[in-house]
């Protein structure tokens, strides 16, 4: 039986960090994988349900780079040993992810259209600015500041 292809909004969501424009729209610059509580929605019974198609972010988890410095998220599997080949694979994927994020940031700056800031109003929509341009989705529940 073929699996149903997931809609983008079933997989990702905008973060709660961003800014409001003067029309009551919320703007943000990225997407995040959708979670169910604190857990990834694709991790069930000790395994990833999308392992073969998982995004680059997941292939390098729990490691990431900040201004070239290696950082690590909390991960229950960190105490486990990995062999040198697996470590080399993660390192290669981490470098690829870092390069991809730089390329996407450059593309974002080329396509980004600034907006007039304003306060939160009962709103209209969420606008995600990314390397592909602007994506407008129904307003989600965000922390309103």
Spatial contact of 58 and 33, defined as CB atoms under 8 Å apart? yes
Residue 9 counted as domain residue: no
pTM: 0.60
* Residues whose CB falls within 8 Å of the CB of residue 93, separated by 6 or more in sequence, listed in order: 56, 59, 60
pLDDT at 143 over 50: no
pLDDT at 73 over 80: no
Task: Give the pLDDT band of residue 85 (cuts 50, 70, 90).
Answer: confident
Residue 33 counted as domain residue: yes
Q: pLDDT tens for residues 53-63?
A: 877 778 887 78
Bigger pLDDT: 5 vs 111: 111
Bigger pLDDT: 97 vs 11: 97
Peptide bond into 26 cis (omega under 30): no
Residue 83 counted as domain residue: yes
Pick from 113, 128, 123, 115: nearest CA to 144: 123
Q: How many domains does the chain have?
A: 1
Residue 144 counted as domain residue: no
Structural domain of residue 27, as residue ranges?
A: 15-138
């Amino acid at each position: 039986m073929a699996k149903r292809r997931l809609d983008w909004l079933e997989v990702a969501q905008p973060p709660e960090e961003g800014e409001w424009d003067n029309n009551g729209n919320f703007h943000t610059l990225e997407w995040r994988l959708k979670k169910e509580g604190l857990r990834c929605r694709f991790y069930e019974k000790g395994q990833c349900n999308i392992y073969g198609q998982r995004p680059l972010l997941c292939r390098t988890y729990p490691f990431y780079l900040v201004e070239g410095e290696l950082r690590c998220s909390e991960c229950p599997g960190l105490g486990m040993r990995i062999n040198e080949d697996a470590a080399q694979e993660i390192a290669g994927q981490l470098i690829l992810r870092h390069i991809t994020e730089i390329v996407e940031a450059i593309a974002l700056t080329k396509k980004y259209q600034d907006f007039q800031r304003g306060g939160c109003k009962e709103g209209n929509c969420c606008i995600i600015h990314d390397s592909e341009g602007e994506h407008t989705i129904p307003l989600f529940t965000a922390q309103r500041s």
